[in-house]
Amino acid sequence: MEYTIGALAEIAGITTRTLRHYEGMGLLKSLKTNSSGYRIYGDAEVDRLQQILFYRELGFDLKGIKAILDNPEFDRLHALESHRRALMEKQREIGTLIQTVEKSIQACKKNRPMKERDKFEGFKRELVRKNEKTYGQEVRNSFGEEELFKANAKMLNMSEADYAEFDALAKEILEKLKQAEAAKDPSSGLAQEVARLHKQWLLHTWTTYSPEAHANLAQTYVDDPRFAAYYQGRAAFLRDAIQIFTKKRVSPTA
């Protein structure tokens, strides 16, 4: 079938201005222009728009979406299956948060404390949501959507004991990183202990580990000011310690 720009905008629930913007940046080109000067879109364009809107829902920026869709190895079926998994996970997250709120409301009405386990489950979901909003795009760019999905799933399956260890490791890393950085030697025993602890911390959410991925992540800490702020100005030192630990050197991104 073929659609005018107005018809496609109505079907997709977006504006014609948005479609013109997509065409202007080469993200979605119309099939042709009719005799009246209206843009016309065919089935292939509709399929591409569907992918664009899926990726937008998952938090991708337009430049990132264009890079993905223009990749000659792009597989539409694989992308749709990946979208389905991500959306089902979002559905589960929202469902759990709703249940947590409902339980909180009932606890307030009955003037009794909410069970700690129920609080914890809601907390994990909220943590994943915040991480997705803040760092999701960067993680996808560096490691791919599939790895982000697996990491989120592993986080959500953590027991309270596992999460307590995960949280304690994060605090221990910051504390020992401060001590190690003062000596200005990323190859020192303490600095390498920090790198080892960082690997142990990652394995709470990573399903597989490789020195290359670890080193790449450490470089991301330096390149992204949000990560750099989290590590309190010591991201470069942590990166150097991890590169020594993994024996991998990563060039800074442009």
Given a contact cutoff of 8 angstroms between Cβ atoms, the answer to whether 76 and 47 are in contact is yes
What is the structure's pLDDT at 46?
93
Residue-level pLDDT, tens digit, the chain, 254 residues? 899 999 999 989 999 999 999 999 999 999 999 888 889 999 999 999 999 998 887 777 788 889 888 888 888 788 778 778 777 877 776 776 677 677 667 767 766 655 545 555 666 666 777 667 666 666 666 667 677 777 777 877 778 788 889 989 999 999 999 999 999 999 999 999 999 999 999 998 888 899 999 999 999 889 888 787 889 889 999 999 999 999 976 655 44
Q: What is the pTM assigned to this prediction?
A: 0.50
- Model pLDDT, residue 84: 80
For residue 100, count other CB atoms closer than 10 A to its CB.
19
What does the pLDDT read at residue 205? 85
pLDDT of residue 254: 40
Torsion of CA 218, 224, 228, 233, to 10 degrees: 100
For residue 252, give the DSSP letter: P
DSSP 125-147: HHHHHHHHHHHHHHHHHHH-HHH
SS3 (DSSP) at 158:
coil
